[in-house]
A and B are shown apart, each in its own frame.
Chain A
Amino acid sequence: MQEVDQLIKQALNGSAAAQKQLYTHFAAQMFGICIRYTKSTEDAQDILQEGFIKAFKNLHTYRNEGAFGGWLRRIMVNTALSYLKTHKTYSLDMLMEAEHLHPVQDNNMDIQIEAKEAVALIKQLPTGFQTIFNLHAIEGYTHVEIAKLLGISEGTSRSQYARARSVLMNWIKKNNKEYKTGGSYA
Chain B
Amino acid sequence: MHKQSFEEQMQQLMQGFNEQPEEFVWENIEQAINKKEKKRRFIFWWILPVCLTGIGFAIFFNNKNNTGINSIAHHTNTSTKTSETISKQPNDNNLQSNIANKKIENISETTIKQNDKTKNIKQIAQKNTSTTIYPEIRKVTSVTEIKKESSLKTTTDKRNTINIDEPKQTNVSNEINVITETDKSKAEITTDTTSKKNIIEVDSTIIANNDKKKTSAKNKWKIGATVGYGFMHEKVKSATYTSYENGFSNSGSTAGQGPVQIINSYTVSAAASYNIGIAATKPFAKNYSVETGISYNYMRSQYNTTSLNTSSFNSYNSKTINKYHALEIPVMLERNLINKNNIGVGLRAGINNSIILNANSITNNQSSKIENINTYQASIGYGLKFNFKINKTNVFILPSLQHSITNLTANSRHKWTRGTVNIGFNFK
Q: Which residues of A contact B (CB under 8 A)?
A: 9, 12, 14, 16, 19-20, 23, 27-29, 31-32, 35-36, 44-45, 48-49, 52-53, 56-58, 60-63, 65-66, 70-71, 74-75, 78, 107-111, 114-116, 118-119, 136-138, 140-142, 144-145, 148, 165, 169
Contacts and interface: CB of A to CB of B under 8 A. Distances in A.
B288 to A, nearest CB: 38
Greatest chain A CB density within 10 A among B4, B5, B29 is at B29
A165 B9 CA distance: 13
A49 B28 contact: yes
A19 B19 CA distance: 19
A109 B6 contact: yes
Greatest chain A CB density within 10 A among B7, B11, B16, B239 is at B239
Shortest Cβ-Cβ A-B pairs, 7 listed:
A60-B412, A140-B252, A28-B18, A115-B17, A61-B239, A32-B17, A31-B21
Given A108-B5, A111-B6, A119 B17 contact: yes
B20 interface: yes
Interface string B31-53: 01110110000000000000000
A36 B14 contact: yes
A78 B4 CA distance: 28
Contacts of A140: 11, 251-253, 310
A142 B251 contact: yes
Interface in B36-81: 36-37
Interface string B221-245: 0000000000000001101111110
11 contacts: A20-B26, A23-B29, A32-B19, A44-B21, A48-B25, A56-B33, A61-B236, A114-B13, A136-B7, A137-B6, A142-B251
Contacts of A62: 241
Given A32-B18, A58-B239, A74-B241, 10 more contacts: A28-B18, A53-B32, A57-B33, A62-B241, A66-B244, A118-B13, A118-B14, A137-B11, A140-B251, A145-B313
Contacts of B412: 12, 60-61
A111 B17 contact: no
B29 A53 contact: yes
A62 B240 CA distance: 9
Contacts of A53: 29, 32-33
Given A9-B411, A32-B18, A107 B29 contact: no
Contacts of A31: 18-21
B19 A71 contact: no
Nearest to A28: B18
B29 A52 contact: yes
Which secondary structure dominates where chain B touches chain A? mixed
A137 B413 contact: no
Given A31-B19, A35-B19, A145-B263, A63 B241 contact: yes
A119 to B, nearest CB: 6
Contact of B242 (A70, A111, A142): A70
Contacts of B34: 16
B25 A60 contact: no
Nearest to B363: A63
Contact of A137 (B10, B240, B310, B315): B10
Contacts of A119: 14, 17
B21 A145 contact: no
A136 B243 CA distance: 19
B116 interface: no
A141 B252 CA distance: 9
B414 A60 contact: yes
B30 interface: yes
Given A78-B240, A109-B6, A23 B26 contact: yes
A44 B13 CA distance: 19
Contacts of B244: 65-66
A162 to B, nearest CB: 12
Contacts of B237: 57-58, 61
B364 interface: yes
Contact of B25 (A9, A27, A107, A118): A27
Contacts of B25: 27, 45, 48-49, 52
Contacts of A136: 7
Contacts of B308: 144-145, 148
B22 interface: yes
Nearest to A26: B18
A23 to B, nearest CB: 6
Contacts of B22: 45
A32 B3 CA distance: 26
Interface string B250-267: 011100000000010000
A62 B14 CA distance: 25
A131 to B, nearest CB: 15
B193 interface: no
Nearest to B236: A61
A44 B252 CA distance: 26
Contacts of B3: 108
A63 B25 CA distance: 26
Interface string B64-107: 00000000000000000000000000000000000000000000
